[in-house]
Amino acid sequence: MMRLRGSGSDGAHWRGVEPVPALLVSLAVVVLVSIVLAASGWAAEPAADADIAAAEPDSLLFRIQADMYTLHGRLKEMLAAAAELPSLGPFILRRITKGYGAEHVWQLVASTLVILAVAWAGEGMARRLFRPLLIRLPALDTRSDFGKLGVLALRFIVSTVELAAFALIAIAMFFLVYQGHEAARLAFWTILAFVLCVRTGAAFLRLLLAPDQGGLRLPAIDDATARQLYWSFLFLAALGAATVLSGLFLDHIGVDPALLLAFGQLILVLNFVAIVAVIGAHHDGISRLVGIRSAEGVERATGLGGLIAGHWYVFAICYVVAMALSATANRLLTGETQTAHTVPTLAVLIAVPILHGLLRMAVDRFFGDRAAVSGTPAPVEMAPVEMAPVEMALLETEPSAVTDVGDTDGYGRVIMRNGNILLGVVVVLLLAEIWEVDLDALAAHSLGARIANSLFDIIITLILASAGWGIIKTAINRQLPHERLGALALVEDEAMGTGLTRLETLLPLLRKFLFITLLVTVALIAISAMGINIGPLLAGAGVVGIAVGFGAQTLVRDIISGVFFLIDDAFRVGEYIDVGEGKGTVERMSVRALMLRHHLGQINTIPFGVIRRVTNYSRDWAIMKLELRVPFDADLEQVRKIVKQVGQEMMADPEYGQHFIQPLKSQGVHRMDDSSFIVRVKFMARPGEQFVLRREVFRRVQEAFQQHGIKFAPRRVIVDAPPTLGPAAAAAVAAEAAGAGGADGAKAG
């Protein structure tokens, strides 16, 4: 009987026609149309070969038409052979019992059971050998994920060694006691391989899910979900192993190719139906297993990514169906089984979440907070945190002023993002290799040969630039904690804060410079990779730069002045300065200008070129001098002691003492006026804290003066007036004034 074979791994041909790439829609249409044609008995033989040959051999239409006829013929053969599937069982029995009676089947079954029983007993002895080691496993440190993984890996290794002992004993017993011809031996090897595959899969699933060891389980799933997923995945593994091994066995014992095609297609449908059923029934558990948002959390999702992640199982089912259609079409076109395509594809899809989880564990182990790097969108309940009024105002009025720490702080998120990109690229390349898709030829056909040749270099450059910029940006942002706060949070009292360090002031400008440099470099590399000579472009850019320099002298002056101001360390972000053109707190700086926030709220943008002097009120220390008015009769020595005592008490205060550089002390009588002595006191404090300390000094001095009976002297104005006259003198003055008035009247008359 002649068997239908392909031409090998270098691409199978059927009637000299190259198969169409696995495009989902095209394949679905081809398969459905072919099934309808075969069921309707349409007998369109390839009599139109002359017309087909007349078409262009390299055209897409020609290949589709040829594949349609091929699918039609193979579907007819498969449907005709499907009716003969019940005869497959008797055929297998005849091949196994060839030359023997029918009772020989029971002898073979008994021999197989004896061999497996002896092998199982030998495995039990190996298990007793490892029992002391397994007893001590619960005493190991399993507080971290890597500790749990170590225990699970050790259990997996022990299980693998025990299974190896089982396999070796079974093989040895087979060569000692088993008798039979080739078909019977193949049947035994198929059964043994099936048992080993299923048990290996069970050991791997115990490592991944730990269904009976909740304390060692790495995924965040409960015991019931873990057990359900364990048995469902084990069923899929057993079904897949049975499919592959049965196909190989039937092929080796000489089953008719058409019958083998029908059986293989039936088993293929069963496998994909089982996969779809497991995904549909346990998609919530699988979501928690791989760290994807469940469907219940989609209502809280605001982006397209969250919506797709919440309904990932729909796309997964569509992918499984598409893969089934593709495998069916390729099987019908080439006559070869698609195990070499489907099994590695499923293995890659299973390995992706495992590798992602291991990467997440490693990042969590070496870079800290898991919530900031895992990318898990599940909501986390947080305890209420007390906030200052300014912070509450920020959250209520400027929700965008506070930056999320997880977005900008920590290397974990950067490593996870770059790792996921690298993992995605590797998966695409592996799937292309598995399904024999020539990405270079596809890119050359779609984009052109030159772009296709340079596309790889451009993609690698972009990936490396993204990874490098992520690390650089994270390293800079970790040194800039003030950028997580809004403008209001940088203002304290009279807005004369201590300011940032010189490094914190220069790093934002360095970050902008590095970003622009990296962007220009990547653009030049991409242009050069496309075969364009960048020499004239650089020369033209130099000429344009010179022209811009001559035409924008004011801009150049501002930039150069700003560079020298920064070199001189004249001011920093957060410091209170006066530049003549304006004063306030330095809020931010650009390449050419300085933004000052006035203590009344307005912001002034001042170019560096117009600044002639800078007065910095927030550098190193600040001295505050206060004046106290005491009456002339006050004991000045007692006043000095009171001031000294207040200074000592404030230095010892845990809230205010840390802000003093020198304590409060009296400088004695500074001057005197008409009504009091003016006593001056002073203290040295950290910049920005002197005003808070001033209020507290006045309050405490007032309380101390009241305790010692000292009053502050009020301001007085002394007016010199004539002395008061008695009643007789006053009457005489009045009479004299009246007489003088009468004389003046007579003269006037």
Inter-axis angle of helices 449-477 and 411-434, nearest 10: 160
Q: Which of these, 37, 35, 36, 69, lies nearest to 52 by C-alpha position?
A: 69
Sign of the CA dihedral with 317 first, then 318, 319, and 324 last:
positive
What pLDDT sits at residue 716? 75
Domain span at residue 46? 24-91
Same domain (yes/no): 575, 427: no
- In contact, 650 and 656? CB cutoff 8 Å: yes
Q: Which of these, 394, 524, 407, lies nearest to 465 by C-alpha position?
A: 524
- How open is the CA angle 185-190-193, to the nearest 5 degrees? 125
Same domain (yes/no): 56, 189: no
- pTM for this model (two decimals): 0.58
Number of other residues whose CB lies within 10 A of the CB of residue 315: 11
Same domain (yes/no): 629, 614: no
Same domain (yes/no): 502, 421: no
C-alpha distance from residue 250 to each of 85, 244, 705 (Å): 12, 10, 108
- In contact, 398 and 490? CB cutoff 8 Å: no
Same domain (yes/no): 592, 651: no
Which tokens sit at 461? 């450059």
Which tokens sit at 660? 């003093």
Domain boundary among 561, 591, 619: 619
Which tokens sit at 354? 């495992």
Q: How far apart are CA 272 and CA 317, in angstroms?
A: 9
Q: How far apart are CA 171 and CA 189, in angstroms?
A: 9
- The DSSP string of 261-304 is HHHHHHHHHHHHHHHHHHHHHSHHHHHHHHTPPPGGGGGG--SH
- In contact, 710 and 643? CB cutoff 8 Å: no
User: Helix or strand or coil: residue 7?
Assistant: coil
Contacts of 418 by beta carbon, 8 Å cutoff, 6+ apart:
463, 466, 467, 470
Q: What is the DSSP letter of 606?
A: E
Residue 392 lies in a domain: no
Contacts of 331 by beta carbon, 8 Å cutoff, 6+ apart:
261, 264, 265, 268, 337, 338
Same domain (yes/no): 607, 628: no
Same domain (yes/no): 546, 633: no
What pLDDT sits at residue 80? 76
Same domain (yes/no): 365, 222: no
Residue 271 lies in a domain: no
Q: Which of these, 265, 264, 289, 276, lies nearest to 236 by C-alpha position?
A: 276
Domain boundary among 255, 284, 311: 255
Give me the torsion for CA of 492, 496, 502, 507, rounded to 10°.
Answer: 50
Same domain (yes/no): 601, 682: no
Residue 395 lies in a domain: no
Residue 609 lies in a domain: yes
Q: How far apart are CA 233 and CA 673, in angstroms?
A: 96
Which tokens sit at 359? 């990467």
Q: How far apart are CA 360 and CA 709, in angstroms?
A: 71
- The DSSP string of 131-164 is HHHHHTGGGS--SSHHHHHHHHHHHHHHHHHHHH
What pLDDT sits at residue 363? 81
What pLDDT sits at residue 109? 84
Our count of domains for the chain comes to 5
Q: 13-22 burial string, b = 16+ CB within 10 Å, else e?
A: ebeebebbeb
Residue 218 lies in a domain: yes
Residue 318 lies in a domain: no
CATH of the domain at 613: 2.30.30.60
Q: How far apart are CA 137 and CA 152, in angstroms?
A: 9
CATH of the domain at 680: 3.30.70.100
Q: What is the DSSP letter of 498?
A: B
Domain boundary among 33, 65, 91: 91
Residue 296 lies in a domain: no
Q: Which of these, 503, 496, 493, 504, lies nearest to 686 by C-alpha position?
A: 496
Q: What is the CA radius of gyration of the chain?
A: 45
Which tokens sit at 446? 């779609």
Q: How far apart are CA 197 and CA 176, in angstroms?
A: 23
Q: How far apart are CA 237 and CA 253, in angstroms?
A: 24
| H-helix segments, 604-749 | 636-652, 690-707, 727-748
Q: Which of these, 305, 481, 320, lies nearest to 403 by C-alpha position?
A: 481
Cross-strand partners of 588: 595
Residue 326 lies in a domain: no
Cross-strand partners of 17: 14
Same domain (yes/no): 506, 533: yes
- The DSSP string of 95-132 is HHTTTS-TTHHHHHHHHHHHHHHHHHHHHHHHHHHHHH
What pLDDT sits at residue 87? 79
Number of other residues whose CB lies within 10 A of the CB of residue 575: 22
Q: What is the DSSP letter of 596?
A: E
Q: How far apart are CA 661 and CA 655, in angstroms?
A: 14
Same domain (yes/no): 52, 111: no
Q: 377-388 burial string, b = 16+ CB within 10 Å, else e?
A: beeeeeeeeeee
Same domain (yes/no): 603, 658: no
Residues (pLDDT < 50) of the chain are 1-56, 295-296, 298-299, 369-408, 493-495
Tell me the Ramachandran region of residue 125: left when phi exceeds 0, alpha when psi lies from -120 to 50, beta otherwise: alpha
